[in-house]
């Protein structure tokens, strides 16, 4: 599904390349996800995101972040916080490659960069319903994908795909993805914790087409079923395939304004 794969590509890239557990005359789960990948994958991209966090008691807070992503054999994601002022400059860097992913967090208050260990990747990023795992490249995980069923959706038939982890580490025991078969775009993703209980739901809407026939949801809403918090992501100023240099994805670049 996309990543969560990075925040834009959501979770999709992590499932593509895994093997399918189901094969019939209908498209397999992997075939469907490959078609979704074609709709969303770019060589690189940059954008701003308005992140609105709603607490269980109704309280809200807002963050504005800038994100850059580059695909390839060593996918990279750089996220930098622009507001509020007291958190401005906070940065997260994720770099994949050779079946592993490294992540670093830069805190401007201390001017220090620390590596994020695997045991902490389920922690909340910027106090949102997105985890460090969600913000990464997800190349270090492999899933087996199965079409559970096809069902009627608002725009036609939808395939519901179940993805289960077969290698690597994840906070999730399984992930369900709803794919519109007429557009090959994802409507909804459900994440289940290690006990098999629903943890959170991601809903994507307002898809827009960009150059190169690349599609992005302009609004993403993540709802936590266990703590009753939610995070809304609104996409702004997306630019794709601009030729972002690898130098933008280094530990040294994290401290650059």
pLDDT at 8: 45
pLDDT at 200: 94
pLDDT at 78: 93
148 pLDDT higher than 90: yes
146 pLDDT higher than 80: yes
Q: Which residues contact 205 (CB under 8 A, 6 or more apart)?
A: 187, 217, 218, 219, 221
pLDDT at 41: 84
Share of the chain above pLDDT 70, in %: 87
CA atoms within 13 A on the CB side of 72: 14
What's the domain range around 169? 2-255
pLDDT at 4: 36
C-alpha closest to that of 105 among 118, 92, 94, 96:
92
CATH number at residue 36: 2.50.20.10
Domains held by the chain: number: 1
Q: CA-CA distances (angstroms) from residue 121 to 61, 76, 105, 148?
A: 23, 16, 11, 29
pLDDT tens readout for residues 172-208:
889 999 999 999 999 999 999 999 999 999 999 999 9
Flag the least confident range among 56-70, 126-140, 156-170, 221-235: 126-140
pLDDT tens readout for residues 211-252:
888 899 999 999 999 999 999 999 999 999 999 999 999 999
Sign (positive or negative) of CA dihedral 88, 217, 185, 154: positive
pLDDT at 117: 83
pLDDT at 120: 75
pTM score: 0.86
Flag the least confident range among 11-20, 103-112, 163-172, 181-190: 11-20
User: Please, what's the b/e burial string for 65-99 (b: 16 or more CB within 10 A of its CB; e: otherwise)?
Assistant: bbbbbbbeeebbbbbbbbeeeebebbbbbbbbeee
Q: What is the mean pLDDT of residues 32-41?
A: 89
Q: CA-CA distances (angstroms) from residue 148 to 6, 176, 194, 234?
A: 25, 9, 20, 30
For residues 75 and 94, give the distance between their C-alpha atoms in angstroms, rounded to a whole number: 8
Burial class (CB in 10 A: 0-12, 13-18, 19+), 233: buried
Strand partners, 79: 67, 92
For residues 30 and 229, give the distance between their C-alpha atoms in angstroms, rounded to a whole number: 32
For residues 81 and 202, give the distance between their C-alpha atoms in angstroms, rounded to a whole number: 22
**Mean pLDDT over the full length of the chain:** 85
pLDDT at 138: 59
> 167: pLDDT confidence band, cut at 50, 70 and 90?
confident
Flag the least confident range among 6-15, 92-101, 189-198, 246-255: 6-15
């Amino acid at each position: 599904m996309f990543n969560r794969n990075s925040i834009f590509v959501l979770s999709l890239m992590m499932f593509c390349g895994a093997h399918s557990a189901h094969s019939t005359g209908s498209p397999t789960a992997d075939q469907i996800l490959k078609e979704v990948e074609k709709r969303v994958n770019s060589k690189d991209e940059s954008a701003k995101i308005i992140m609105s966090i709603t607490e269980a008691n109704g309280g809200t807070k807002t963050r504005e972040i800038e994100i850059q992503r580059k695909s390839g054999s060593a996918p990279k994601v750089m996220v930098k916080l622009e507001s509020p002022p007291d958190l401005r400059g906070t940065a997260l860097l994720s770099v994949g490659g050779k079946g592993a992913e490294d992540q670093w967090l830069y805190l401007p208050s201390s001017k220090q960069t620390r590596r994020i260990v695997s045991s902490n990747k389920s922690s909340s990023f910027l106090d949102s319903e997105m985890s460090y795992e969600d913000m990464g490249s997800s190349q270090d995980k492999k899933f087996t994908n199965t079409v559970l069923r096809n069902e009627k959706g608002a725009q036609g038939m939808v395939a519901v795909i179940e993805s289960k982890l077969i290698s690597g580490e994840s906070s999730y025991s399984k992930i369900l993805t709803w794919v519109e078969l007429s557009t090959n775009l994802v409507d909804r993703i459900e994440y289940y914790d290690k006990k098999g209980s629903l943890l959170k739901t991601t809903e994507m809407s307002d898809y827009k087409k960009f150059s190169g026939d690349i599609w992005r949801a302009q609004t993403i809403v993540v709802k936590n079923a266990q703590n009753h918090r939610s995070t809304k992501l609104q996409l702004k100023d997306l630019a794709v395939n601009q030729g972002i240099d690898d130098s933008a994805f280094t530990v040294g670049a994290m401290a650059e304004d």
